Structure 1
């Protein structure tokens, strides 16, 4: 299988981000709070503004988009923490290391921006996502919130945090 490359998208790449995001919404509607119908209606100005709010990382294989993730500020109360969100990998690329490369690039970006932690909200009942994040070095915190995506049960999300210091095995700073 060919190599995976990950690159940040700039504002001028808004249409490529939009196309990949709409593909993700069509393919995995249950994974996102937004719907494809809502986001298809947005104009170019909206998409350009979205590109300015956080960094969008695109994973490609042979020039074809195979995954995307966003990295942005966590909150004003947590200035040393970036947040990873909107992670999606195309079905044909799942299990091939794309998610790992996207998360690695997101962690490196946050570190380069002077952040000491990377937060990632994961469905507490989503064993596969929790295992992936844990295997990468993310550790659960006490922070919980209701699921942002549509769900048939009362599942919540847990904030998992990756310490961006020297020892990935060390416990992250708690909030």
Structure 2
């Protein structure tokens, strides 16, 4: 898609980020740990802080924002790693390379910011997400964590009434170094 551009937002672009984040939460509520109702309540100062805390990259087609991804410091103890998170693309453009461009820009941003590893958490039951990340060059690891799901209290097991509640997500890692197969366990 040559008519798609990806750019990093600055702190002054907080309203653009807010709008695309709320659109993502509205469109794909099950894909995020927050809800649109929760985030609509945040004040302007909160949205400004979000742009300082992590890099926010958007995909645009003309003046229309069509996707978003974030790159931020990993909560892991290893300062060489960051996380790629919050990936979303407008439904009518899915499968057309926009997510690829966003991930590519996120990985490049991580390199520019001197990180050596990019961690991307994917639901273990999300075959499409795992395949996408693998095709990009992310490698699965044995690191797992419980997936946070909006509206489901933490620790609630999947039941017959809620068969779609995912249980775990796994860390997939992209190495920015010379040996893409070499990922130290401290990264996670």
| Fold match (TM-score > 0.5) | yes
| Structure 1 Cα separation of the partners of residues 45 and 178 of structure 2 | 40
Of residues 42-51 and 1-10 in structure 1, the stretch that sits farther from structure 2 once superposed is: 1-10
Which structure is higher in strand share?
Answer: 1
Matched, 1:165 2:183: no
SS in 2 for 1:14: helix
Q: Spell out, residue by residue over 1:36-76, the C-alpha distance to the aligned partner (whole angstroms, 9 max, x if none).
A: 11111111001001111000000011221110000000025
- Off by >6 Å, runs of 4+ in structure 1: none
Q: Which has the higher contact order (CA 8 A, sep 6+)?
A: 2
Q: TM-score, normalised by structure 2?
A: 0.88
Partner residue, 2:133: 133
Aligned length in residues: 174
Partner residue, 1:111: 111
Q: TM-score, normalised by structure 1?
A: 0.94
Quick check: 2:119–2:173 contact (8 Å CA) kept in 1? yes
Partner residue, 2:159: none
Query: Quick check: which has more Rg, 1 or 2?
Result: 2
Quick check: 1:139–1:172 contact (8 Å CA) kept in 2? no
Partner residue, 2:158: none
| Structure 1 Cα separation of the partners of residues 141 and 55 of structure 2 | 24
| Structure 1 Cα separation of the partners of residues 10 and 111 of structure 2 | 19
Quick check: 1:139–1:171 contact (8 Å CA) kept in 2? no
Q: Spell out, residue by residue over 1:82-123, the C-alpha distance to the aligned partner (whole angstroms, 9 max, x if none).
A: 100000011011011110000000100111111110000000
Q: Spell out, residue by residue over 1:95-152, the C-alpha distance to the aligned partner (whole angstroms, 9 max, x if none).
A: 1111000000010011111111000000000000000000001011121100112474
SS in 1 for 2:105: helix
Quick check: 1:141–1:174 contact (8 Å CA) kept in 2? no
| Structure 1 Cα separation of the partners of residues 73 and 21 of structure 2 | 20
Matched, 1:73 2:73: yes
Structure 1: state its 5+ residue gaps. none
